[in-house]
Structure 1
């Protein structure tokens, strides 16, 4: 997940740097809002690790929702970037923090502590990149 997001971010930064993608005013507004929403959804690495798995997963899902909402408001390169970001983070949608208690789990799995950290780091990287796009 972290590697997929890093590749995505590097491509976006390269396209902007080479002026193959010039973020529009609307792109910058949506990127700023998305960065703000990601910031609100996810705390620092230390604060997230102190939370319960249920809370950590809720924060990750909130961040994913923020990206999906941002995606609904744009077209073109920013939409493609956000769509790829949501796809990279899609494994979070298959995670559960509660034990199955003998019932169906609908194909969910319990993530490891490293998987939580990786997803949280990926979201922080996306937040930073969206803030950069907003400032472009």
Structure 2
């Protein structure tokens, strides 16, 4: 996830730098709100790592929800960027925090600590990219 988000962020930053993507005021406003929502959902690594896995998963899902809401409010390049970010982070939706033996889980899987870290780092990188969009 982290790699996919990094590639998306670099592409967005390149499009803005090359003036291929002219960021509108609406894009800036939506990006600023999404960046703030991501920052509120997923904190610094040293704080996230102290949380119970169920809370880490909740925070990641909150971040995904914030991206979906932002996506609903835009069109064009920012919508494509946010849609691709949601797709890259999609595996989070199939994660579970309940231990094995809790009964059927609709195919949900239990992520490793490294997968949590990877997803949280991806959210932080996405937040940075959205902040960059607001300042262009």
Normalising by the smaller structure, the TM-score range is: over 0.9
Please give the TM-score of this superposition, normalised by the length of structure 1.
0.98
Task: Report the counterpart of residue 59 of structure 1 in structure 2.
Answer: 59
Q: Deviations over 1:30-58 (max 9, x none)?
A: 00000000011111100000000000000
Task: Report the counterpart of residue 3 of structure 1 in structure 2.
Answer: 3
Output the aligned Cα RMSD: 0.7
Measure, in 1, the Cα distance between the counterparts of 2:31 and 2:102: 42
> 1:100, CA displacement in angstroms?
4.0
Task: Report the counterpart of residue 50 of structure 1 in structure 2.
Answer: 50
Q: Deviations over 1:89-129 (max 9, x none)?
A: 00000000112435211011000000000000000000001
Task: Report the counterpart of residue 78 of structure 1 in structure 2.
Answer: 78
Measure, in 2, the Cα distance between the counterparts of 1:100 and 1:112: 13
Moved over 3 A (4+): none
Aligned residues: 136
Unaligned runs of 5+ in 2: none
Unaligned runs of 5+ in 1: none
Measure, in 2, the Cα distance between the counterparts of 1:39 and 1:102: 32
Specify the SS of the correspondent of 1:96: coil
Q: How does 1:3-42 map to 2 (within 5 A)?
A: 3-42=3-42
Task: Report the counterpart of residue 90 of structure 2 in structure 1.
Answer: 90
Task: Report the counterpart of residue 122 of structure 1 in structure 2.
Answer: 122
Please give the TM-score of this superposition, normalised by the length of structure 2.
0.98
